[in-house]
């Protein structure tokens, strides 16, 4: 089954289905676009299908901030209503309202 329709949008705050991190989406790939090594490093029990959207996140957990690449099947809407405290958020986004950020001019994807 092909699942290429993106469920989430750029600027939306999401959380990982299994791991304790959340982030804001800043880009979307219609299907997997990373290395085989990266894909194989994912534990088999949570390894996603490659034929679905993958999201680039400005991510955070309790210890740090980082960039994450996550499949659609492993994301959920973050319903905390809290902004993401990643240092690069201001480079891409403006106002935060209702769980989403406004994309700054010049970053339209």
Of 64, 68, 63, 72, which Cα lies nearest the Cα of 24? 68
Please give the model's pTM, rounded to 2 decimal places.
0.91
Alpha-carbon distance of 37 to 42, in angstroms, equals 9
Task: Give pLDDT, residue 41.
Answer: 93
Q: Which residue has tokens 């991510």?
A: 59
DSSP state at residue 105: T
- What is the signed CA dihedral for 78, 56, 50, 22, rounded to 10 degrees? -30
Task: Give pLDDT, residue 102.
Answer: 95
Question: Tens of pLDDT along 43-95?
Answer: 888 899 999 999 999 999 999 999 999 999 999 999 999 999 999 999 999 99
List, in order, residues 6 or more apart from 26 with CB less than 8 Å away: 10, 11, 56, 57, 58, 92, 93, 107
Task: Give pLDDT, residue 2.
Answer: 45
Task: Give pLDDT, residue 25.
Answer: 97
Q: Which tokens go with 7?
A: 């469920």
Task: Give pLDDT, residue 109.
Answer: 54
CA 32 to chain CA mean position, Å: 13
Asked if the model's pLDDT at residue 108 lies above 70, the reply is no
Q: Which residue has tokens 């982030």?
A: 23
Task: Give pLDDT, residue 70.
Answer: 96
Task: Give pLDDT, residue 4.
Answer: 60
């Amino acid at each position: 089954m092909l699942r290429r329709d993106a469920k989430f949008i750029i600027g939306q705050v999401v959380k990982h289905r299994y791991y304790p991190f959340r982030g804001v989406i800043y880009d979307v790939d219609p299907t997997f676009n990373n290395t085989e090594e990266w894909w194989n490093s994912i534990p088999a029990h949570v390894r996603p299908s490659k034929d679905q959207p993958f999201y680039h996140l400005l991510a955070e957990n309790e210890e740090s901030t980082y960039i994450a690449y996550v499949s659609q099947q492993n994301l959920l809407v973050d319903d905390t209503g809290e902004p993401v405290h990643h240092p690069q958020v201001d480079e891409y986004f403006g106002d935060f309202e209702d769980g989403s950020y406004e994309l700054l001019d010049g970053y339209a994807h």
